[in-house]
Every structure is written in structure tokens, then in C-alpha cells.
């Protein structure tokens, strides 16, 4: 029996791989922040006197104009006080009329020699005292009128009611907040930032904001205030950004997303699955379009997250990088690309 010889040559394995074509993008490492729209100026309004609240003509969100009545207190005591002071003023004026007549009569008698200087001096003193009593009563009447006016709370400026803290029937003290008035003409974007973010925040940076539920509604602004100390509970710092001509759709209290507008670093984003290691340094497998072989290229990373990496240097735009099957590759190995990747390479 003669032996048989197999002349079949073993074919070199061509491994299929999945790749992406690199593209550069601008990137900065300052994360977006969620905040809310607030009024640039908010004023807590209350009564100058204590009393029982009998009327509140505004609710949360009510738009008011300067001079509009916001709330009233029970004014019965103040009306009674005004009436009593008005009666005292009338009595003082009557006393003054009598004192002036007595002074005039004593002056005439003194001039004709029928009275003494001491009697005239007494009449003059009584007249001056009566005048002083009238002035004092007039001042008390003005004070009583002011007290009566204090039972009405009016809007000092145009704005919107952003908070309500007292209900009808409640007894409020002097100075206690009844409503909060917010200026609608100027709006701020307010954020709470951690210490690490505040330290990296450029003070003159432009800030872009958009509504959380409507990203197409946007505005820009500048940082106007950074809180000098941290919130004792959250340990964050309040940042206020003054918005420039924000759209009407950005209403007070709406949630927004803010982003620091920086020039950014040019990076190449890749899936985290593309990351390999060469001599303890990050690397990726690159496909040579001429012969479909792979080579391992060292890169520098700007970001290494579980989902993606950002390559700062080591790759050029338009390079094909292997993103799947990297553990079974070696330099010079021929690989097979998907049909779509081959068409893109051509």
C-alpha cells in the first residue's frame, strides 16, 4: 500500500472585528448642573403692625402692579383710635380759640391801663400752650391715620407672588412675612455646586442654560454671585447667574440645566471596549486600511469612564479602531471588517 500525501495548505485565520472610525470633538471636563429659575430680586412683605388677617387678595403666582392691595388686617381698633384722636384735636382747637380770645382781650385791657402785665402774661402763656396742644393732637391724628393705613398691605413694585405664608383668620405679628414678591423683569439661574466645582469655575465664564423638559428653550448669562459660605446641610455653594433677555417660557421655579461655555479640548471619543494596555499604558488596536492588519497604538486619555474613553492624543481623525474582539488580536494579524466598515474605508 502506498502512502497518501495531503497537499492542502492550511488557511491563515482572518478574524472578524468590529470597528469605529474616529472623529474629533470639543470637550471640557466641567459637568452640566441642574438648577432652577428664580427672580433676581425677592422681597418678603408683611404688615408694620400686628393684627388679624381678614383678607388676602393674592395667591401663589398672581401678577401684581405697584400699589395693588395684597392683604388687609382687621382695622376696627385703628379706626377707634383715629376717632378718639380726632375728638382730642377738636377739643384742643376749641381751647385754642378761647385762649386766643383771652389773650387778645388782656392785650386790649393792658393797653388802656385796665389790666396788669402779669394777667396778660398768663393769658399769653395759656394761648401758647393751647397752640402746642393743637400741634400735638394733629401729630397724633397723623399717626393714627398711618396706623390705619398700615392695616392695608400694598405692592411696592410690579412683580409676581412667589410665596404665601399667612392665611385669612391668622393673627400675624409686625414684620412677619405674609407674601413674597418676585421681580419678573430680571431672572437668575440658581445652582448648587460642590466645593470642587466652585474651585474650577471660571468667574468670567459664559453660562448656557436650557429648560430641563424643553432643551430647545435656551438663554445665556454671566455669574453674578457666589455664596461666601456653604450650605450647612448639603455643603454646596449657591451660584447665581444673571440671564440676558431670557424667554417668557422660562418661568420662575422651572428646572434648568446649565453648562459652562469653554473653548474645550479636542478629543476623540471611543467606546470603553476599545481600550487595551501596552506595557502598562493605555492603547487601542488600529486597522491598517491598506492590508487590513492591526497594530497596537499607545494613546493618552482625557477621560476613562465605564462607558467610554476620550483620547487626548495618539490617534488621528478618520482612523479605524477595533471596538470588539481586542483580546484575540496581535500585531500584524489580518482582520475582516463588516461590509459597512469596508465600504466606509474605501
Q: State whether residue 257 is helix, strand or coil.
A: strand
pLDDT in tens, 74-113: 999 999 999 999 999 999 999 999 999 999 999 999 888 8
Which of 265, 243, 346, 342 minimizes the C-alpha distance to 310?
A: 265
Same domain, 52 and 170: yes
Q: What is the pLDDT of residue 177?
A: 96
pLDDT bucket at 11, cuts 50 / 70 / 90 = low
- Three-class secondary structure assignment of 211-233: ECCCCCCEEEEEEEEECCCCCCC
Q: Residue for cell digits 474605508? A: 345
In this structure, are 331 and 293 located in the same domain?
A: yes
Sheet holding 25-27, edge to edge: 25-27, 265-271, 308-313, 300-304
106 is a domain residue: yes
Residue 10 has pLDDT above 50, yes or no: no
Higher pLDDT, 136 or 197: 136
* Predicted local confidence at residue 335, as pLDDT: 87
The answer to whether position 9 is within a domain reads no
* pLDDT for position 219: 94
Same domain, 170 and 56: yes
pLDDT at 278: 85
Instruction: Tell me: do 284 and 307 sit in the same domain.
Output: yes
Q: Is 291 exposed, middle or buried (0-12, 13-18, 19+ CB in 10 A)?
A: exposed
Distance CA 27, CA 310 (A): 9
Neighbours of 63 (CB within 10 A): 11
Q: Which three cell numbers stand for residue 145?
A: 391715620
What is the predicted pLDDT for the residue at 263?
62
Contacts of 168 (CB under 8 A, 6+ apart): 53, 54, 55, 56
Based on the fold, state whether residues 236 and 302 are members of the same structural domain: no
Bridge partners, residue 63, by sequence: 160
Does a structural domain hold residue 5? no
* Region of poorest pLDDT, from 69-83, 149-163, 262-276: 262-276
Domain identity same for 166 and 286: no
Closest CA to 312 of 300, 328, 330: 300
Task: Count structural domains, the chain.
Answer: 4
Distances from the Cα of 313 to the Cαs of 4, 76, 148, 293, 317, in angstroms? Answer: 57, 80, 76, 22, 11
pLDDT tens string 160-184: 898 999 999 999 999 999 999 998 8
Residue 299 lies in a domain: yes
**Which residue do the cell numbers 466645593 mark?**
195
Res 17: pLDDT: 87
Mean pLDDT, the chain, rounded, equals 88
Q: Is residue 270 part of a domain?
A: yes
Q: Are residue 238 and residue 257 in the same domain, yes or no?
A: yes
Pair (196, 215) in one structural domain: yes
Residue 266 has pLDDT above 90, yes or no: no
106 and 169 belong to one structural domain: no
Instruction: For residue 182, give the C-alpha cell.
Output: 418676585
Range of the domain at 333: 15-27+265-345
pLDDT at residue 129, rounded to an integer: 95
In this structure, are 21 and 126 located in the same domain? no
How far apart, in whole angstroms, are the C-alpha atoms of residue 100 and residue 94? 10
From residue 54, alpha-carbon distances to 57, 150, 152, 166, 170 in Å are: 10, 14, 10, 11, 8
User: Quick one: average pLDDT of 249-274?
Assistant: 85
pTM listed for this prediction: 0.56
- Whether 257 and 288 map to the same domain: the answer is no
Q: Tell the residue number behind the cell numbers 488557511, with chain if given.
A: 11
* DSSP-derived secondary structure for 77-103: HHHHHHHHHHHHHHHHHHHHHHHHHHH
Q: What is the pLDDT of residue 192?
A: 93
Place of cell 386766643: 100
Are residue 99 and residue 200 in the same domain, yes or no? no
Asked whether the predicted pLDDT for residue 229 surpasses 60, the reply is: yes
* CATH classification at residue 251: 2.40.30.170
Domain boundary among 149, 171, 204: 149
261, 277, 301 - which closes a domain: 261
Task: Decide if 85 is inside a domain.
Answer: yes
Amino acid at each position: 500500500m502506498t502512502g497518501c500525501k495531503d497537499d492542502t495548505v492550511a488557511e491563515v485565520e482572518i478574524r472578524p472585528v468590529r470597528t469605529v472610525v474616529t472623529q474629533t470633538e470639543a470637550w471640557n471636563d466641567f459637568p452640566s448642573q441642574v438648577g432652577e429659575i428664580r427672580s433676581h430680586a425677592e422681597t418678603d412683605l408683611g404688615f408694620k403692625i400686628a393684627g388679624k388677617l381678614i383678607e388676602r387678595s393674592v395667591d401663589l403666582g398672581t401678577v401684581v402692579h405697584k400699589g395693588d392691595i395684597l392683604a388687609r388686617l382687621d382695622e376696627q381698633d385703628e379706626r377707634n383710635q383715629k376717632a378718639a384722636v380726632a375728638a382730642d384735636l377738636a377739643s384742643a382747637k376749641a381751647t385754642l380759640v378761647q385762649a386766643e380770645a383771652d389773650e387778645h382781650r388782656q392785650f386790649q385791657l393792658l393797653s388802656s391801663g385796665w389790666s396788669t402785665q402779669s394777667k396778660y402774661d398768663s393769658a399769653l402763656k395759656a394761648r401758647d400752650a393751647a397752640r402746642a396742644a393743637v400741634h400735638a393732637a394733629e401729630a397724633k391724628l397723623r399717626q393714627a391715620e398711618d396706623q390705619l393705613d398700615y392695616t392695608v398691605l400694598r405692592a411696592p413694585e410690579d412683580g409676581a407672588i412667589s410665596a404665601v405664608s399667612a392665611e385669612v383668620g391668622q393673627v400675624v405679628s409686625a414684620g412677619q412675612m405674609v407674601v413674597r414678591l418676585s421681580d419678573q423683569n430680571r431672572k437668575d439661574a440658581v445652582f448648587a455646586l460642590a466645593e470642587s466645582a466652585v474651585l474650577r469655575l471660571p468667574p468670567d465664564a459664559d453660562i448656557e442654560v436650557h429648560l430641563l423638559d424643553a432643551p430647545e428653550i435656551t438663554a445665556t448669562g454671566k455669574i453674578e454671585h457666589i455664596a461666601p459660605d456653604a450650605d450647612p446641610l448639603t455643603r454646596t455653594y449657591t451660584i447665581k447667574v444673571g440671564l440676558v433677555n431670557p424667554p417668557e417660557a422660562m418661568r420662575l421655579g422651572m428646572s434648568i440645566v446649565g453648562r459652562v461655555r469653554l473653548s474645550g479640548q479636542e478629543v476623540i471619543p471611543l467606546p470603553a471596549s476599545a481600550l487595551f494596555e501596552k506595557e502598562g499604558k493605555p492603547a487601542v488596536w488600529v486597522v491598517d486600511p491598506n492590508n487590513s492588519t492591526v497594530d497596537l497604538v499607545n494613546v493618552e486619555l482625557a477621560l476613562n469612564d465605564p462607558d467610554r474613553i476620550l483620547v487626548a492624543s495618539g490617534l488621528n481623525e478618520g482612523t479605524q479602531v477595533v471596538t470588539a474582539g481586542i483580546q484575540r488580536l496581535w500585531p500584524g494579524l489580518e482582520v475582516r471588517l463588516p461590509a459597512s466598515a469596508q465600504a466606509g474605508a474605501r
